[in-house]
Amino acid sequence: MTGPITTERHDDVLVIISNNPPVNALGAAVRQGLEAGIKEGLADDSIKAMVIRCEGRTFFAGADITEFGKPFVEPGLPAVVDQIEASTKPVIAAIHGTALGGGCEVTLGCHYRIAVPSAKIGTPEVKLGLLPGAGGTQRIPRIAGVPLALEMTAKGDPISAKKALEAGLIDKIAGEDSLIEDAIAFAREKAGTTDLPRASKKTAQADPEAVAAFKKENARKFRGFDAPAANIACVEKASDGSSFENGIAFERQEFMKLMMGTQSAAQRHIFFAERQAAKIDGIASDIALRPINKVGVIGAGTMGGGISMNFLSAGIPVTIVEMAQEALDRGAGVIRKNYEASAAKGRLKPEQVEAAMGALTPTLDFSALADCDLIIEAVYENMDVKKEIFAKLDSICKPGAILASNTSYLDVDEIATATQRPQDVVGMHFFSPANVMKLLEVVRGAKTADDVLATVMALSKKIKKVAVVAGVCDGFIGNRMLKPRQVEAMKLLMEGATPEQIDKVHVAFGMPMGPFQMSDLAGVDIGWHRDPNRIESIRDALAAEGRWGQKTQKGFYDYDEKRNPTPSPRVAEIIENFRSKSNLQKREISDEEIIEKTLYTMVNEGALILEEKMAQRASDIDVVWIYGYGWPVYRGGPMFWADTEGLPKIVAGLEKHGFKVAELLKSKAESGGKFNR
Ligand code: 3H9
């Protein structure tokens, strides 16, 4: 046999081996090979059982997503899974790494499953806006029951081998290093079995209460998404007394609906966009990286503390420096409290809390940073202060240490001028709360060395961040695009919209919150304290009255003790005052106008960012907005969304309101192009 599938005889056991790097995706050649492998095993009388296993780092990680949307090549995965299940000789799945999606479904077609202890099994299709479309929604509930099937399909998180064993999704745990031998021995044990267990022949018990509870519990998480409900419906179908064939027909119908929809296209776009973001144009992927074994953080405030936790959690020791003992103690105390809260929720073991805290060295002594490989400055946004710190770092830090600033908008090149080593300076813009938010904007200065950039990008994966390279410009990618949105939202207030109306439009769009809810959360007073006598805007007026947002229980909204917002009559008055002072007439503002002014302008700014090469690619901008600002993943990020809406429509909307349209956006709209291919 040629291609990614080969077979190997071990006396009476035929081992069917997939070798399709990097993740053994079930592309056409793999499916054809599997089909042929099973036929070979069945045709040979000396073969009594078969084992399916994979080479490389993982068992099949699912269907080949790159094939989606392309012409279909026989055989389909459902047919291959059915063929395996129908085999009259036992077929055993030997699982290592992650058996995901179609890979999990292949195992469910097998009569028996054996896995190493570190293996994970799951159906993450929902995260691609899909459902397991090769029988998974029908076989999982039949083997493991409705509640687990709901968890696995509609939420998509994989389960451990141990949990899979308990649930019957695997039959045996192999030795971590003896999977092949153990699987062959297991196959031999099962050779000759005539009544082979077949998942399709089992029945699943209906569990309407579990379904109702699951829907209620996850309503918030599933808001706006099509795929979770489709997964749930399929699992219900598997347990409502329908035949397996009818269940499969229903699964296929729902799968195709999702596959043709815009949500899955958006979610698949983000899957690849996230991986693409890790790649740096013009830098070889095998460039030698600088070792990062110890990290220094300057500033033990909210940002510094959160940043430190990322490294501590990844097992990298952190030295955290502050100016005053009290601030240092408070910062270290908050870190401990956060870890203990995670432990209380069962997410960490007490010994993990102690291990993380044991790797933290709080100090007032700047010179303790001398042996750090990476130092991240996380003090407040003031150029002079930052330059002073970088000059100090230049004199203390060892040669080759990477000097990073967590600035969210300041000029990294100017910061670098404070040192004699601008090639070692880079921006690392974490998002708050820095221990939770997945996005990291890595800011490439004019002189940042290639290996510095590559090291920081690789490190970000280690600390479980999704990193995007940004150029030096005001606000980089994310905050730069946020600005027109905020500016236009404020103008709309002046013209007659209310904060509630604007926020509602954004929430209905799928954002976790609207611009004014976000201001209240972040603090209406940000930037105002520098000049508290200034009352030039609605925002200033709110800040001057102590309406600083959620922290003072009033901002653009009034809040009760539980932080529930209600529209504020006082805010309406303040807006009215400003409106009359500006001689503006209040008018009706449509939801469509809100979208055009607040979201189309973001797309326009995104186009400028691309024109200026401040982002490497449009999909990077999408990643920033998904992971940094909660843009709904089912809309694929602002640039993907613009493509879906149609660029001529975006241009027309911008021109209607007199905005200057970015050249790139205009030319793409005229030529029928798109930001993302
Ligand atoms: C499905 O199965 C549908 C069926 O139910 C129904 C069919 C009818 N296809 O993530 P990594 C690439 S839907 C194609 O960096 P890791 C990935 O783009 C599928 N390519 O590695 C990257 O390429 P590059 C359900 C894929 O070690 C490279 O492999 N399954 C696929 O951090 C390495 O990936 C899933 O949703 C794929 N299925 O993580 C699982 N998967 O090097 C999706 C990966 O060019 N995959 N690639 O950038 C994953 O979750 C992770 O890749 C995995 C490994 C955990 C496996």
DSSP sequence for 409-448: SS-HHHHHTTSS-GGGEEEEEE-SSTTT--EEEEEE-TT-
Site to probe by mutation for ligand 1, drawn from 54, 60, 65 as the one with most ligand atoms within 8 Å of Cβ, is: 65
Scanning 44-133, the segments in alpha helix (DSSP H) are 77-86, 102-109
* Protein residue closest via CA to atom 16 of ligand 1: 23
Determine the distance separating the centroid of ligand 1 and the alpha carbon of 508, expressed in angstroms: 31
- Protein residue with least CA distance to atom 4, ligand 1: 102
Nearest CA to ligand 1 atom 18: 272
Question: Ligand 1: distance of its center to the CA of 23 in Å?
Answer: 6
- Catalytic residue check, 125: yes
> Of all protein residues, whose CA lies closest to atom 47 belonging to ligand 1?
23
**Do you find a cis peptide bond into 632, omega within 30 degrees of 0?**
no
Distance 621 CA to ligand 1 centre (A): 21
Burial class (CB in 10 A: 0-12, 13-18, 19+), 450: middle
**Ligand 1 geometric centre to CA of 409 (Å):** 34
Average pLDDT (314-336) is 97
Nearest CA to ligand 1 atom 9: 64
Is the pLDDT assigned to residue 282 strictly greater than 70?
A: yes
Residue nearest ligand 1's atom 15 by CA = 275
- Measured from the Cα of 66, ligand 1's closest atom is 14
Interface predicted TM-score (ipTM) over 0.85: yes
Q: Which amino acid is at 149?
A: A
Instruction: Specify the residue for token string 């600005």.
Output: 483
| Residue 74 falls in the annotated catalytic set | no
The pLDDT assigned to 1 comes to 56
Q: Is the pLDDT of residue 665 over 90?
A: yes
Q: Whose CA is nearest to atom 23 of ligand 1?
A: 275
Burial (CB count <10 Å: 0-12, 13-18, 19+), residue 404: buried
pLDDT tens-digit readout, 255-280: 999 999 999 999 999 999 999 999 99
Helix axes 478-495, 601-611, angle to 10 degrees: 150
Instruction: Return the structure tokens found at 88.
Output: 């009259």
- Is the Cβ–Cβ distance between 410 and 380 less than 8 Å? no
Ligand 1 centroid from CA 61, angstroms: 6
Structural contact between residues 677 and 659, judged by C-beta atoms closer than 8 angstroms = no
Long-range contacts of 533-537 (CB under 8 A, 24+ apart): 537/490, 537/578
Task: State residue 635's pLDDT score.
Answer: 98
Q: Which of 125, 377, 441, 488 is catalytic?
A: 125
Q: What is the mean pLDDT of the chain?
A: 96
Q: For the segment 204-214, what is each residue's pLDDT rounded down to a tens digit?
A: 999 999 999 99
The pLDDT tens digits of the residues spanning 572-615 come to 999 999 999 988 999 999 999 999 999 999 999 999 999 999 99
The residue contributing the CA closest to ligand 1 atom 50 is 61
Burial of 151 (C-beta count, 10 Å sphere; 0-12/13-18/19+):
buried
Name residues whose C-beta falls within 8 Å of residue 519's C-beta, 6 or more positions apart in sequence: 486, 539, 549, 555, 556
Ligand 1 atom closest to residue 279's alpha carbon, by position in its atom list: 48
Place of tokens 């815009």: 262
Per DSSP (E only), the strands in 473-524 are none
Residue 154: the pLDDT is 98
Q: For a pocket test of ligand 1, which of 23, 24, 127, 252 has the largest count of ligand atoms closer than 8 A to its C-beta? A: 23
Q: Residue 223: left (phi > 0), alpha (psi -120 to 50), or beta?
A: beta
**Residue linked to tokens 């207030």:** 493
Distance 275 CA to ligand 1 centre (A): 10
Distances (CA, A) of 616 to 27, 57, 345, 413, 466: 29, 30, 39, 18, 15
Ligand 1 atom closest to the CA of 100, numbered from 1? 30
Q: Which helix (H) or strand (E) holds 217?
A: helix 208-217
534 pLDDT more than 90 = no
Higher pLDDT, 56 or 533: 56
Q: Whose CA is nearest to atom 6 of ligand 1?
A: 133
- CA separation for the pair 596, 602 (Å, rounded): 9
The pair of structure tokens assigned to 461 is: 């994966």
Give tens-digit pLDDT for 339-395. 999 999 999 999 999 999 999 999 999 999 999 999 999 998 899 999 999 999 999
Residue nearest to atom 39 of ligand 1 (CA): 23
Measured from the Cβ of residue 432, the count of other Cβ atoms closer than 10 Å reads: 14
Counting atoms of ligand 1 from 1, which one is nearest the CA of 62? 2
Structure confidence by residue, pLDDT tens digits, 119-174: 999 999 999 999 999 999 999 999 999 999 999 999 999 999 999 999 999 999 99
From the alpha carbon of 57, which atom of ligand 1 is closest?
Answer: 27
**Residues within a 6 A CB radius of ligand 1:** 22-23, 25, 58, 61-66, 77, 98, 100-102, 105, 124-125, 128, 130, 132-134, 136, 272, 275
Strands 49-54 and 5-10: unpaired
Identify the active-site residue in 74, 85, 105, 377: 105
Closest by CA to 607, choosing from 667, 672, 655, is 667
Atom in ligand 1 nearest the alpha carbon of residue 102: 2
Q: Evaluate whether 103 touches 59 at the Cβ level (below 8 Å).
A: yes
Protein residue closest via CA to atom 19 of ligand 1: 62
Atom of ligand 1 nearest to the CA of 124: 36
Distance 474 CA to ligand 1 centre (A): 35
Distance 25 CA to ligand 1 centre (A): 7
Query: How close is the Cα of 101 to the center of ligand 1, in Å?
Result: 9
Structure tokens at 72: 């279909």
**What pLDDT is recorded for position 395?**
97
Span 59-83, average pLDDT? 95
Query: Distance between alpha carbon 386 and the CA centroid of its chain, in Å?
Result: 31
Tokens of 299: 């500033």
Per-residue pLDDT, averaged over 415-423, amounts to 98
Mean pLDDT of 78-102: 98
Rounded to whole angstroms, the Cα distance separating 648 from 565 reads: 38
Distance (Å) from CA 121 to ligand 1 centroid: 14
Please state, in angstroms and rounded to a whole number, the distance separating the CA atoms of residues 21 and 23. Answer: 5
Q: Which atom of ligand 1 is nearest to the CA of 136?
A: 5
User: How many Å apart are CA 520 and CA 368, to the nearest integer?
Assistant: 38
Amino acid at 82: D
According to DSSP, residue 549 is labeled B
**Ligand 1 centre distance from Cα of residue 123 (Å):** 12
Angle (nearest 5°) at CA 109 between 212 and 177: 105
CA–CA separation, 522 vs 102, rounded Å? 42
Residues facing 538 on adjacent strands: none
Tokens 């492998």, residue? 37
Model confidence at 512: pLDDT above 70? yes
So what's the pLDDT on residue 48?
98
Contacts of 571 (CB under 8 A, 6+ apart): 499, 542, 547, 556, 557
Distance CA 108, CA 153 (A): 14
Ligand 1 atom index nearest CA of 278: 48
Query: In this structure, are residues 238 and 138 in contact, taking their beta carbons and an 8 Å threshold?
Result: yes
Atom 5 of ligand 1, residue of closest alpha carbon: 132
| Residue bearing the CA closest to ligand 1, atom 10 | 275
What percent of the chain is modeled with pLDDT above 70?
Answer: 100
pLDDT band at 533 (very low <50, low <70, confident <90, very high): confident
Residue 400 DSSP label: T
Query: Alpha-carbon distance 551 to 562, whole Å?
Result: 12
In the chain, the largest separation of any two C-alpha atoms, in whole Å, equals: 93
Distance (Å, rounded) from C-alpha 71 to C-alpha 443? 40
Confidence band, pLDDT 50/70/90 cuts, at residue 528 = confident
Angular region, 291: left φ>0, alpha ψ -120 to 50, beta rest? beta
CA of 15 to the centre of ligand 1 (A): 24
677 pLDDT above the threshold of 80: no
CA of 129 to the centre of ligand 1 (A): 14
Of ligand 1's listed atoms, the one at least distance from the Cα of 461 is 32
